[in-house]
Structure 1
């Protein structure tokens, strides 16, 4: 919400600035035109040996200039811009210069697990020396098992960056069955890129030989793709001006690197994004809500620190939602196997424990908290997400 407000305020300042600049430039252009017109009149009169009234011409010019660039109007527009800019600066200071330690709660962490996550993040980023140093100082010896696969992954990515697909193809071939089970066509994409490189930099015959040897096995499942690649043979040497010029885009190499990273991590049982990065990003997004909550509860500091559950939801984007979660609107508890979500006859959903409390342990019917329907607990059905 605060980021949206900052953007709206920025857009307002930008609009004021553009309007002020436009009006000022317009006034300057008109001023220049009137001065040039007055000079032409004076020069024409001198050329014709007439005797113009210079004082009246200058007085007329002064009056026109005053109407064009009314000083009070320009000053008013500049003042409005300054006020808007001042408000925007204060809003930025309020949004970004906050004491975020106010949102801190003393939560017990398994520091060994946290150290493992940090070491894994460093290895994932290719910072192997720093990762080793951290692991040794933190005593995370088991992180060495995580390091080895990421060394291989970064070796492959470095080769792709150098336009060398051999290490990537070797890895894809070694893991062909696992990739196939996951529905991945990474190997075909790598072979396709290699085929295009051969067609562009070597010869048509070599590209055809490569296709017969490596691409033919994919014909039964990717016939349309193979036909497209065969059509490229007709455009050898001028593929950049063909209907298939998109195959030469440098973005294809970046996409290959990203997909290989995704599949590599997938086979390792690791998420594509670093858990540490995702945690920090989610924390940053939820921080404004927590800061606002601490401000509201400023007089109840101790209560805030001892809370087991936040009184308000912290909304996060879909990228941070990894599985379906149901939170009971009555108790604010998250559904679990012991306390599942239950569908009432009226269509509303509560957690089982809330229904038990409302029905006094299944002894009586109760009124739905969200509509006037009378509900019998035996009619409620468990929901499976």
Structure 2
């Protein structure tokens, strides 16, 4: 999508609109001035001894307005505005309503797998009724329970957290404490901290101290600063909102804790925090404009259908980059185990197959395509990402 061209077209429409408005106001002011002058003359024609006749005044006004040709003046600027608007609408239709089927390649889909992905998306978004209805419509009932059950549990715990009830979350974290520790998660500490603050805000200092000794003390050695801060909060039992630690009572802390719980829950399920379907759609929407532009350029060329790799790079935002890849700048192929990236003696990097072709199977010296250095293929070293 050429956003710059859309902006330029919008600026032209805005400029024409301001010009048309200014010209219209100018013509209206002229007409009003002439009418006011004619009214003054008619009123003075009634004075004794006046030589003016109101009929002649009206005739003169008519001639003046006819010579001004206000409609002709307005039509000129309005026509220019209409042309600019028409071009802008066509540009929007072309840019914002493209034929996205051009970027589609006929491939075989596993409908069973696709249905599971869609159903799983509904369940992980908490849309259980929608997911159930989708499962019934597609007939994927066998795997429905396995997909739905864990997310149903997750949302029941999150719903309790929304009501500031940490009991279910603490029970889940306790049952999965070993796995959480292995993944380096601090969810258990965060849950106990929030529960401690909640007890303290209710004014139960002794209960809060007992809770800290039982549940927070094991974390003291590895999180001393946080532990000391919580112990200082004991001095403000029942009035934590007016203490230097009132930030602990922010509603945003509950939202952050629920999000962290959701992240860790999905992690233990072996799934990403974000729905794979959402990520796919978002990434697809980002690369669709350059893909459409490429397909428009390559329209009618038969080799497009047989291409295994795009001849042009398609950039994705950092959030969609999950692992390192290398694309050979010569062949445009992604590196693989059989075609790894190789470091040349000059510091540039090419894929192994490109080096093999350029060196005639390592039998001759070749020049680096990006600098004039002579390269011995035997001195190239494989890179590991």
Query: TM-score if structure 1 supplies the norm length?
Result: 0.77
Residue 116 (structure 1) aligns with:
116
Alignment-derived partner of residue 348 in structure 1 = 348
Residues 1-385 of structure 1 mapped to structure 2, 5 A cutoff: 2-3=2-3, 91-136=91-136, 137-139=138-140, 141-300=142-301, 302-385=302-385
Per-residue deviation, 1:78: 11
Counterpart Cα distance in 1 of 2:86 and 2:203: 62
Secondary structure at the residue paired with 1:350? strand
Q: 1:220, 1:135 → 2: CA distance?
A: 49
Distance 2:212 2:292 in 1: 59
CA contact (8 A) 1:340 1:383 kept: yes
Q: Deviations over 1:91-124 (max 9, x none)?
A: 5433322221222111222222222211221221
Question: For 1:67-107, what per-residue CA distance to the aligned partner results, in whole angstroms no more than 9, with x for missing partners?
Answer: xxxxxxxx9x9999999887765554333222212221112
Q: Do the aligned partners of residues 230 and 81 (structure 1) sit closer, same or farther apart at CA in structure 2, a change above 3 Å counting?
A: farther
How far did 1:235 drift? 2.3
Q: Deviations over 1:101-149 (max 9, x none)?
A: 2221112222222222112212211223332343342436234323221
CA contact (8 A) 1:116 1:140 kept: no
For the 8 Å contact 1:135–1:141, the answer to whether it is kept is no
Q: Deviations over 1:210-236 (max 9, x none)?
A: 212211111111111111111112223
- 1:14 and 1:198 mapped to 2: Cα distance? 62
Is this contact kept in 1: 2:13–2:85, CA < 8 A?
Answer: no
TM-score, scaled relative to structure 2: 0.77
CA distance in 2, matches of 1:92, 1:230: 61
Count of aligned positions:
334
Q: Which runs of 5+ in 1 are unaligned?
A: 25-74
Moved more, 204-213 or 135-144: 135-144
In the alignment, the residues of structure 2 paired with residue 238 and residue 78 of structure 1 have an alpha-carbon distance, to the nearest angstrom, of 68
Deviation of the 1:3 alpha carbon: 4.8
**Could you tell me how far apart the structure 2 residues matched to 1:243 and 1:14 are?**
55
> 1-side partners of 2:164 and 2:319: how far apart?
31
1:221 to 1:88, Cα distance in 2 relative to 1, 3 A: farther
Q: Distance in 1 between matches of 2:106 and 2:122?
A: 26
Q: Secondary structure at the match of 1:299?
A: coil
| Separation (CA, whole Å) in 2 of partners of 1:243 and 1:355 | 64
1:384 Cα shift? 0.5
Q: In structure 1, how many angstroms separate the alpha carbons of the residues matched to 2:229 and 2:119?
A: 45
Contact 1:103 1:294 in 2 (8 A): yes
What is aligned with 1:56?
none
Indicate the structure (1 or 2) with the bigger Cα radius of gyration: 2
Cα distance in 1 between the residues matched to 2:224 and 2:15: 57
Give the root-mean-square deviation of aligned CA atoms: 3.2
